[in-house]
Chains A and B, each alone.
Chain A
C-alpha cells in the first residue's frame, strides 16, 4: 500500500483545518468510526441575463430609478415587474422619485459569506410618493441608532456602475453630497 499519512482527530474543527491545509483528513466519531473528509471546492461563472428587468439596471447606471406601472389597474411597482401580479397585464416603465421614506430597516452584523467583509451594513425598504409597493436597498451614511421608520431618505448612484442592485443606495435626506451620480 502506498499509504498517505492523514491527520486524524475526534475534533471536527481541527479536522476542518487540516482538510483546508492538506486536502484530506480523518474524523473519528463518538462510536470510533473513521470518516474520510476531503476538500471539494466548487466555483462557477454564470452568464446571467437580466432579461425583462434590463431597463432597471441600465437606468441605475444612468442615475435613474425606474419602477413599473400597470396600465389596467394603475398599480405602481417600486420594485419593477414585467407584468402586473394582480391583473396580469404587461407593465410599462416609469421614473420613480429619488426621495422616499424608510418603511422598515435593520442593521446586519453578518451576511452570506461573500458579504461578511461589508458588515455591519443597513438594509431598508423604501416607500415612494406615488408608488404602491416598496424597494429593498442598502442605507448608508447613518448608524443603527439614527435610523427609524418614516425617516426621509434620498438615492445615491454608484459612479462606477456594476449593473447590480448595489448600484443604488439611500442616505438620510439632506445628508450632504455623498457620492453623486455621474450625470
Chain B
C-alpha cells in the first residue's frame, strides 16, 4: 500500500527454489488435439479424450498400449461435466486400466499442471511412459451459468457474491496495471488526475487490442482454433464492452475440447521417435486466492533487473502475477536460461485476456515490469511476414502465441495447457506445415520454446520449457 513502508516480511515469497536436476530426463514424443469448438454435442468427454489420444498414438506407431505405464488426466470443473470422477471414464475409454492414474485440477492452470504431473511420474522413475490427457466440456450449460461456475473458483464468502464474474477481476487487475505503468510513467506529465487516467486507459486498451488482433490473425491458419478472425484494432475496441475496459474480442470463450501428450524417458524416447522433444525446465508458482490479500512488497528480481528499477513499485499488488514470475524463475533456472527473450524462440502463454498476455510478458522477463505496452508496440511478440494492419518493426524477435492462444483457439480449461504443449511440440519438430496444412505459423529453426498455464487471477501458474533435440539443416 502506498501508505505503508515496504518491509521484507511483506515481500511475500522467498526466492524460488534453486534448480533441481536430480530426476531422469523426460521427453515429449507425441501429441494430439481435437478441434476446439463452442460445442461438440456429438462427442462426450470420453470420446474427445480418446480422439486426441488416438491422434497422439498414430504419430508414434511403435508405441503399443502395454508400453504405457499409466496416465495423468485433467479437467477443471465437476460442475460442467456433472459427472464426478470423470477421469475414470476417460481411462475406461482409452483402455489403460488397471495402470496408475490420478486426476489433476488446478483451476485455469489444470492442463499445464497435468503435463508437469506426467513429467514427475517419468522423472521420478515411477513410469517410463506416461499419457497425459485433459478435457473440458463447457457447452453443457448456458454461457452465463458457465461464468458463474468459473467464478466459484474465487472466494465464495468475499468475492463471488459481488458479481460471480472473472472478467471483472481481470479488469480490476489491468486497470491498476495501466495506472502503475501508463498513468504514473508515460502520462506522468499530465497534471489533471482524471484526464491522465482516461488517456492512460485509452492508450492501454489500444495496445491490448493489438494483442487480440495478433492472436486472432495468427489463428487464421490453425485448423484447430475455435475463433480465427481477421480483425482490426478498431474492430476489437468497438466490440461489446464486457467489463471496462475489456471488450468481447479481448476475452477467450468457453469451449469443448481435449488434448493429449505422451511423455517418456530417454531410452524409450529414442526408440519411439527420431525427433523427441526434451522437457528441460518445469516451474510452478502460486498466489493468494483473493486478489485483496496480495501483498505490496518487493519484486522477485530476474537477472535482467535491478532493485532500483522498481524503487517506487509495490509488488505484486493487484497489477502483476507473482505466481507467473515465480514459475518462470523456477523453470528458467532449471533449463539454464538467464535471458528468456534471447534464449527462447517462442512462447505459448495463457492469454485468457489480452491484458493478461501483456502482464505475462513482464512476469516471464520478456521485458521489465512496466515495459509490456512498449514491447507490443515494438512488434517483438508478432510473427515475421504476417500483415497485422499496423507496423511491427521487431516482428519475429520472440513470437508469442503463434498458434492464436486462448483468445483465438478457445479455452476448454483442462485441455488448454496440454493443447499449448501439442502446438509447441509441433513447432519444435518443424511440423506446423504438415499438421496445420500451411507453413505460415512455423517459426524457422525453432529450437526452444516455453508454455505457460495460468489459474484464476494468477493464483497458480506453471511454466514448462521444451527443447528440440534433433539437428536440422537450416
Q: Footprint of B on A, CB under 8 Å? A: 12, 15, 27, 29, 31, 33, 35, 37, 40, 42, 50, 53, 73, 75, 77-79, 81, 85-87, 103-116, 118, 121, 123-125, 127, 129-138, 144, 148-150, 164-166
Contact = CB atoms under 8 A, between A and B. Distances in A.
Contact of B292 (A135, A148, A150): A135
Given A114-B164, A133-B1, A166-B162, A148 B194 contact: yes
B147 A111 contact: yes
Interface in B29-84: 39, 41-42, 82
A104 B173 contact: yes
A110 B193 contact: no
A137 B318 contact: no
Given A108-B171, A112-B164, A148 B197 contact: yes
B41 A109 contact: no
B23 interface: no
5 contacts: A85-B293, A87-B9, A113-B147, A115-B165, A149-B176
Contact of B291 (A35, A110, A125, A150): A125
B410 to A, nearest CB: 16
A2 B295 CA distance: 65
A109 B319 CA distance: 22
A166 to B, nearest CB: 6
Interface in B1-39: 1-4, 9-10, 12, 39
Given A73-B9, A134-B292, A129 B164 contact: no
A21 B173 CA distance: 41
B391 to A, nearest CB: 31
Interface in B261-309: 288, 290-296
Given A73-B9, A104-B179, A135-B292, A148 B167 contact: no
Contacts, number: 160
A165 B162 contact: yes
B157 interface: yes
Interface stretch (B213-221, B222-230, B240-248): B240-248
Interface of B: 1-4, 9-10, 12, 39, 41-42, 82, 142, 144-145, 147-148, 151, 157-165, 167-168, 171-173, 175-176, 179, 183, 193-194, 197, 240-245, 288, 290-296, 318-319
A79 B10 contact: no
A23 B243 CA distance: 34
Contacts of A29: 41-42
B71 to A, nearest CB: 27
Given A109-B242, A123-B162, A104 B175 contact: yes
Given A75-B10, A81-B293, A108-B168, A33 B42 contact: yes
The residue among B145, B173, B243 with the most chain A CB atoms within 10 A of its own CB is: B243
Contacts of B148: 112-114
The residue among B39, B160, B165, B294 with the most chain A CB atoms within 10 A of its own CB is: B165
The residue among A85, A123, A130 with the most chain B CB atoms within 10 A of its own CB is: A123
Contact of A35 (B42, B160, B161, B193): B42
Contact of B168 (A106, A114, A135, A165): A106
Nearest to A130: B3
A143 to B, nearest CB: 11
A53 B159 CA distance: 13
Contacts of B162: 123, 136-138, 165-166
B144 A112 contact: yes
A180 to B, nearest CB: 21
B258 to A, nearest CB: 17
Given A149-B175, A165-B162, A110 B10 contact: no
A123 B42 CA distance: 39
A111 B82 contact: no
Contacts of A127: 1-3
Contacts of B167: 108, 110
B41 A35 contact: yes
A125 B157 contact: no
Given A111-B164, A135-B292, A166-B161, A104 B142 contact: no
A77 B42 CA distance: 50
A78 B292 contact: yes
Given A108-B163, A133-B293, 17 more contacts: A53-B157, A73-B9, A79-B158, A85-B293, A104-B319, A108-B243, A109-B244, A110-B243, A111-B163, A112-B144, A112-B163, A124-B172, A125-B318, A133-B295, A135-B292, A148-B194, A149-B197
B1 A106 contact: no
B141 to A, nearest CB: 9
A138 to B, nearest CB: 6
A119 B145 CA distance: 15
- 6 smallest A-B Cβ distances: which pairs? A112-B164, A112-B148, A106-B171, A104-B176, A79-B292, A29-B42
A113 B145 contact: yes
Contacts of B161: 164-166
A106 B246 CA distance: 9
Contacts of B172: 104-106, 123-125, 136
A113 B176 CA distance: 26
A109 B245 CA distance: 11
B293 A113 contact: no
A27 B43 CA distance: 12
Nearest to A87: B9
B340 to A, nearest CB: 28
Contacts of A106: 168, 171-172, 175, 243-245
A93 to B, nearest CB: 16
B13 to A, nearest CB: 10
A79 B293 contact: yes
Contacts of B176: 103-104, 125, 149
